[in-house]
Amino acid sequence: MNKLAFSLALFFIWPGALVAASIERIDPPNWWAGMHNQDVQLLIHGEGIGGYEVKLDSTDVSLQAVDSTDNANYLFATLKISPSFNKEFVTLKFEKPGQEAIAYQYPIFKREPNSAQRAGFGNRDLIYLITPDRFANGDTSNDAFAEMGDELNRSKEFSRHGGDLQGIINHLDYLEGLGVTQLWLNPVLENKQPKSSYHGYAITDHYKVDPRYGDNALYKKLAKKAKQNGIGLIIDLIPNHIGHKHWWMTDLPSNDWINFNNTFSPTNHMRESVQDPYAVEADRKQFADGWFVASMPDLNQRNPLLANYLIQNAIWWVETANLTGIRIDTWSYSNKLFLSQWSDRILAEYPQLNMVGEEWSTTPNIIAYWQKGAINADGYASNLPSLFDFPLQASISPALIEDENWNTGLIKLYKTLASDAIYPNPSALTIFADNHDMSRVMTQVNGDATLNKMALTLIATLRGTPQIFYGSEIAMQHPGTESHGAIRADFPGGWVDDSVNAFAGKNLTQEQSETLAYVRQLFNWRKSANAIHTGQMHHLAPKDGVYCFTRFNAQERWLICLNKNTNDVTLPFAQLTPLLDSGKTATHFLSQEAQNLTQGLRLKARAADVFRIQ
């Protein structure tokens, strides 16, 4: 019997003829021998299964524990799998006095060679964020399914538009040419919600790709094809909540599975309460246990069975699809002790994997609290390597569009970076100018393509791992609206009837074409600029509308200067000396024009210039 047959989870009487099974599903649907943690907890769901005894037929797999809950339709069986296990499945036997026994062939696979040693994303990479429904429609046959609900209608901002995994596969060459080395997709797991399901953040099945995107096999194919193009795949997971149409919601595994007794009680969004020394427990509880909206039930990760389920789900996807990283939605809204356990368990399996958490706070001390290595006043120890640098993001567009003054303009960017001492590892942060939940950077800078390029230059050259949002390379914008449906607009060229095709460079405006060409040059140059990846940084305080910083190591030194002025500026050699380390020549990274620094450095008007210093 092949692996596909096993993964279909066949049931049969033991002994006896084939009959209808009382087991509806087992999660995870398979596991592997040779994992760091040899135990796997199986969620077993079926009518009355809680009254059955579980037995095994293997000497290489042992039954460590069987847990029941207040719901008789569930059992949780924990297996220990010996590294020497070399079969394709283990047979689970379910027995109950007076009832015919049931057997289930549970698949156990061999791990891919060096799976545990996989490299995660890091500072050498460019992460490209895609909302899959809005990027490209590569297979029109999966555009809509009656049983899934939520209409297909490209004319409506919050309906499904038809983008899918095949559309992304079809354009991997475009992404590689752009300089992309990592893909972060908004969640692609099943969202069987009645409306506005396109964003993916209301999961209804943790082990199934949404059929409107494809299936699990196509997701694995995307990861494989992307790897062939030098691109890793980052999964977006949501341990905090689910969609209210999740299959659990019709038969909850236990009465404490959902916070606030399965009754909507909104979060207060007080992220500060987690570390606020004056916060009352009621505020902390309302923040962490409260629901985002009524259609997103909040999960109770204090339940150890649920906590284990969520941890194993993350590991299962990394192993199944050969992923290079995890992006975690609404990081701080989950139980914080669970979050430490969650990240610790995953990194025990994949020590070099990277994970980045979303903590949407613009105060550095709140971000720093959650990073691995932080010494916190309350003793909390996080294991999360990276977080999104929301404080830096919040300073970029003001730095570019505000008039220069003692507390406005470039000084905001300078002061944000000056706060880096609070982070355990600022270079491990993930930096960005925009994402799927906020105004596109082109809109933030009032539709100014020059400032858009300056913002992207900052993202390419500051410390951290850069992430850009699909369409930034062609200066996509949404003037006059902050609607998320408009922010997550269709990428031009992703549908066969599109008159503009950015993939092919067809019918782009001059502004769009110039931006695209610049982004390609910028991020492909960045691939080999080692000092930009891991080098040190020094900067000069902004002066007269100019801000300069250097990234350097023992082999190379790069000087990046932003000139907001409407005229060219020449910086005196003496002013730049602290950044030069005796260098006398500045060579522009694109034009290769060299300047003698002893005569001053000429900066173009309204530009971010990058120079090699020698």
Q: What is the mean pLDDT of residues 447-460?
A: 98
pLDDT in tens, 205-236: 999 999 999 999 999 999 999 999 999 999 99
The total of structural domains in the chain comes to 3
Q: What does the pLDDT look like over 182-213, one tens digit per residue?
A: 999 999 999 999 999 999 999 999 999 999 99
Check pLDDT > 90 for residue 254: yes
Closest by CA position to 400, among listed 562, 214, 200, 539: 562
119 in a structural domain: no
Task: Decide if 270 is inside a domain.
Answer: no
Determine whether 497 is an active site residue: no
DSSP string, 505-521: TBS--HHHHHHHHHHHH
- Written as six digits, the tokens of 426 are 């600022």
Length of the chain: 614
pLDDT at 22: 78
Average pLDDT on 20-26 reads 77
Report d(CA 168, CA 183) in Å as an integer.
10
Same domain flag for 328 and 415: yes
Classify residue 551 by its DSSP letter: E
Q: Which residues contact 150 (CB under 8 A, 6 or more apart)?
A: 159, 160, 193, 194, 195, 196, 197, 198
Q: Indicate the pTM of the whole model.
A: 0.95
Largest CA distance in the chain: 95
Segment 322-364, tens digit of pLDDT: 999 999 999 999 999 999 999 999 999 999 999 999 999 999 9
Question: Could you confirm whether 448 is annotated as catalytic?
Answer: no
Q: What is the CATH number of the domain that holds 604?
A: 2.60.40.1180
CA dihedral (183, 313, 148, 212) positive or negative? positive
For residues 316 and 396, give the distance between their C-alpha atoms in angstroms, rounded to a whole number. Answer: 37
- Asked if 516 and 562 sit in the same domain, the reply is no
Residue numbers of the domain that contains 87: 3-111
Q: What percentage of residues in the chain have a pLDDT greater than 90?
A: 95
Q: Which of 103, 79, 93 is nearest to 10 (CA)?
A: 103
Q: Are residues 46 and 168 in the same domain?
A: no
Is 291 part of any domain? no
Tens digits of residue pLDDT in 276-328: 999 999 999 999 999 999 999 999 999 999 999 999 999 999 999 999 999 99
Same domain? 521 vs 545: no
| CA dist., res. 130 & res. 329, Å (int) | 15
pLDDT at 371: 98
407-451 tens-digit pLDDT = 999 999 999 999 999 999 999 999 999 999 999 999 999 999 999
Q: Angle at CA 451, nearest 5°, toward 599 and 575?
A: 25
CA distance 315 to 305: 16
Query: How confident is the model at residue 12, as a pLDDT?
Result: 39
**Gyration radius (Cα) of the chain, Å:** 26
By DSSP bridging, strand 39-46 and strand 74-81 are: antiparallel
What is the CB-side half-sphere exposure of residue 216 using CA atoms within 13 A?
15
* C-alpha–C-alpha distance, residues 344 and 405, integer Å: 45
* pLDDT tens, residue by residue, 54-93: 999 899 999 999 999 999 999 999 999 999 999 999 999 9
Angle at which helices 510-526 and 449-461 pack, to 10 degrees? 10
Confidence at 174, pLDDT banded by 50, 70, 90: very high
Whether 11 has a pLDDT exceeding 70, the answer reads: no
The number of angstroms, rounded, from the C-alpha of 393 to the middle of its chain's C-alpha atoms is 16
Distances in Å between the Cα of 273 and the Cα atoms of 258, 334, 338, 479, 562 are 21, 13, 17, 35, 38
| DSSP-based three-state secondary structure for 147 | helix
- Asked which of 527, 560, 591 is the last residue of a domain, the reply is 527
CA 484 to chain centre: 18
Residues 384 and 329 both lie in one domain: yes
Domain membership of residue 120 (yes or no) is no
With respect to residue 46, please indicate whether it lies within any of the assigned structural domains.
yes
Domain annotation covers residue 305: no
Same domain (yes/no): 523, 541:
no
Cβ neighbors of 452 (< 8 A, separation 6 or more) are 441, 442, 445, 472, 475, 515
pLDDT in tens, 124-152: 999 999 999 999 999 999 999 999 999 99
Residue with token string 């977006």: 236
Average pLDDT, the chain: 95
Report angle CA 88, 90, 94 to the nearest 5 degrees. 150
If asked whether residues 84 and 136 sit together in one domain, one would say: no
Same domain (yes/no): 237, 360 = yes
Helix axes 304-321, 336-349, angle to 10 degrees: 30
* pLDDT score for 68: 96
- The answer to whether the CB of 442 falls within 8 A of the CB of 477 is yes
User: Across-strand partners of 33?
Assistant: 110
| Residue of 353, 367, 363, 387 whose CA lies nearest to 467 | 387
- Catalytically annotated residue among 210, 358, 420, 473: 358
Task: Select which of 289, 329, 349, 473 is catalytic.
Answer: 329
Prior bond to 28 cis, omega within 30?
yes
Three-class SS of residue 533?
helix
User: Residue 156: which CATH number?
Assistant: 3.20.20.80
The reply to whether 176 falls in a domain is yes
Instruction: Examine residue 117 and state whether it is found in any structural domain, yes or no.
Output: no
The secondary structure element, H or E, covering residue 110 is strand 102-110
390-401 helix and 449-461 helix, angle to the nearest 10 degrees:
140
Q: Are residues 522 and 543 in the same domain?
A: no
